[in-house]
Amino acid sequence: MSGVDGGVDELLAYSFTHLLIHHPTHPLIQNSRILRLAMLPSLPHVSRRDLSYFFFSQHFSDGLRTTLAILLPALVGAQWGEFAAGITISTGAVCVSATDTPGPAKHKRNGMLAGLGLVFVVAIITGLVGPYRWLLGLEIVFLAFTLTMLLVWGARAGSVGSATLLAMVLSLAHPPTLAQVLPQSLLLLLGGGWYLVLALLQQQLQPYRAAQQALGECLHAMAGFLHLKATFYQESTDLEEDYRRLVAQQVTVNEKQEAVREVIFRSRQLVNESTNISRRLVLTFVEAVDLYEHITAGYYDDAALRRDFGPTGLLSDIAALITRLATDLDYLG
């Protein structure tokens, strides 16, 4: 029956959308109550808060910067009649952008520089050995093994290896002639350098942006954890399902906290600075971790609580209080 209901909802939504576009004065469209009942069940609920978190998140800003760095060289090259060169420059930006993972500014810079150098060297080697099948096969085997083993030194080193392998594969897709090897490698170097300059410029203009975004996502995850804790005091929910969702959210919170530690404490930049913004960021994170430890420190027999205090009506009040605290924490993030 759920599949039939879903099909009916989609049919109603399509019908009312057609009426809304082509016959806006139709009586059904004028009846707002019918319009709400027919269309809203089929539309996903996205709150303004969710949209705010999406547009101000670290992933969105990084994606916007990466898109600009990749598209701009190709568009400029097409405008000047050098589309192939623009695509090659954009390819270099793509390879270096793969090494730009969240973390301290110093680590990000070193990772991008390492990726830039390896992409340039591997592009030259691949172009030179391309006509010789045996040498090319040995190069592929050697680089695939060596660059994959960089994962031993962490995710950032692994991303450097992946970016270099990407440059090698793209060079094999359109092998240059011997005379084109150096110019094409220089264009890849130019594209990677363009992305590196853009990323470093953003760090200089917004030095606290990464820490603020990471801390905001951490507080948002903690608020979600509190919202799930509130469901334990609602007798209508299933405790087993509540425990399962709580454990999954706890993993998310730990990941977000580790991301904040990477940005704030590994580089020591925010800790050593005496500006008002850096102090607030550090103190906010310390207090947030302390609050989270207090939340997770206690253990209660939730089944016994529901059995003993359910008839008193206290549990619903406690759930409402926890939900309010979670909402306040969410707005703080």
Residue with tokens 């990477």: 262
Please give the pLDDT value at position 17: 46
First to last CA, the chain: 41
Please give the pLDDT value at position 333: 67
Which amino acid is located at 247 in the chain? V
Please give the pLDDT value at position 163: 92
* Burial zone of 54 (CB within 10 Å; 0-12 exposed, 13-18 middle, 19+ buried): exposed
Averaged over 284-296, what is the pLDDT? 87
* Burial zone of 327 (CB within 10 Å; 0-12 exposed, 13-18 middle, 19+ buried): middle
pTM beyond 0.85, yes or no: no
What percent of the chain shows pLDDT beyond 90? 28
Please state which of the ranges 64-68, 122-126, 203-207, 228-232 shows the lowest mean pLDDT. 203-207
Please say whether the beta carbons of 84 and 191 come within 8 A: no
The string of pLDDT tens digits covering residues 126-179 is 999 988 889 989 999 999 999 999 988 888 889 999 999 999 998 888 888 888
Please say whether the beta carbons of 99 and 114 come within 8 A: yes
Average confidence score pLDDT of the chain = 80
* pLDDT of 52 strictly over 90: no
Which amino acid is located at 279 in the chain? R
* Burial zone of 29 (CB within 10 Å; 0-12 exposed, 13-18 middle, 19+ buried): middle
CA separation, residue 84 to residues 74, 101, 192, 213, 332 (Å): 8, 28, 16, 37, 48
Residue from 256, 252, 224, 246 nearest 300 by CA: 246
What percent of the chain shows pLDDT beyond 70? 81
| Domain coordinates in residue numbering, the chain | 2-45, 62-205, 209-332
Residue with tokens 């209901």: 5
Please give the pLDDT value at position 138: 93
d(C-alpha 77, C-alpha 84), whole Å: 7
What burial letters (b/e) apply to 60-86, b meaning 16+ CB within 10 Å? Answer: ebbeebbeebbebbbeebeeeeeeebb
Max avg pLDDT among 52-56, 141-145, 241-245: 141-145
The pLDDT-based confidence of 46 (bands split at 50, 70, 90) is low
Please give the pLDDT value at position 269: 61
Which amino acid is located at 29 in the chain? I
CA separation, residue 91 to residues 72, 84, 210 (Å): 12, 11, 26
Please give the pLDDT value at position 12: 42
